[in-house]
Structure 1
């Protein structure tokens, strides 16, 4: 997952960050795809995250059912067709609904998340995302031997950086949060864990219904000079909600092999954001608790449009960032 998303769990792909002494509390939501978050919402979410505590190690745990209390779904815009059923979805309270329809409760199945987040080396399919504010952004997966880039925008090509090992999906840097500290200049953030660059975002092989706890250190920088202006831990949870053999989006486009994930500030809370990833595409839909739904609405044929130009931040290369846990190049092979 936005100028409010810290690291998927932390897109931009949702996280809150502990600001430095001179910076007011900020919330970076990993998926607000190039959009500024409402400042009040940012501050509220971050302060709430601080109250919830910042202690914990990344670990996958089975969800525990909280006390029953009816909650409003954050995804009730477009009811899916009757055939749009989730496979291996665990339903629990508070009830999280998918586009207004409760998934069918079945035993969880395990999936390789690299199947939905990555692809073959090279540049993938170009597609458009209709954003909740009415704008449109061109997305494209760009894969190198050691990195997965989810790029956004045909002019600048901001990106979210991921990589995979045999056991985890990692996130590193996100250049798409926008102007976080309000100085009129664009920013980016990077994640670290145990003083090493990169943070575990999810298990690579993951079972539907499970939670994954994360506590990366998030550091925000100005793109102008790569000088940090805020840094701190952000504890949150990512949940594997459902797998769909096929899924039809509000645009009428149907894609095969789609997963749904949720980002949470507490293990039994309502999602702050929900993400949909499709095999061969990457991120194709997201929806926030304080914003509307953004979804795929156009697919470009090969060669119809130029590839997204991946954004280059000159000073970023001087920081010496390198991924952890990469014994060999990673490529998803069907």
Structure 2
């Protein structure tokens, strides 16, 4: 196990190197640039700007300089946000997205797994139909519809929760409730469907019939035996889901005015802000790679039949 962990940790280095290299050259070869605009910039001014950001150097030299900066933990200056570095922009917004995404994913995991258990144990009965109907709504209805509907009902009609803002405002932690529920909805739906199918498959296994034949209580069979095997597909889904729920929450952040990293991600692409785009890619990729590593470790803990060689 320890040898596997070390190998997986070491494999992160070439993975990130390939991602950074491909992203750097793909962005630079794309048409346009961060200083392209409808109003033509005088050539002398443009050359001074390019020299300031070392963009007048050969591409391979720029690439080598960028790799050196990354190794020092410096993601460079933003081309569009004056006097701000990529580290400062991501560092100021990422904690907000991590808090919102973590709460949303935890809620989706708890309710989705619970819905899957109820659906599997009450297959083809009304709890099963109700849970899966809600799951279908979560998959089919977009977030820009769910968010305003929740605002209309719980903020404007019932006045239970604020319409927007964040936890550092006067409303405090109440502001996280509506965006958390909105962001969790599609992930709840996928987890509910995954857990239902996985639990049904495990319930038909021989070792579950053996456990019941031994006279174990149904609650013990479900919690100790069924769930442990049925969680594997869910755990596998949680890796990329965690990355997506943090960096892909731009719609929710816009609807509820949450100062997260999602809007920064979108604006960097629209502005062709090379360094900020690269910073976004590196952060997203790092989260995805690390979460997949954690998933691999959890696999061995959940199922001792899995051998790491």
Q: Which band: TM-score by shorter chain?
A: under 0.3
Q: Which has the higher contact order (CA 8 A, sep 6+)?
A: 2
Higher strand share: 1
Q: Which structure is larger by alpha-carbon Rg, 1 or 2?
A: 2
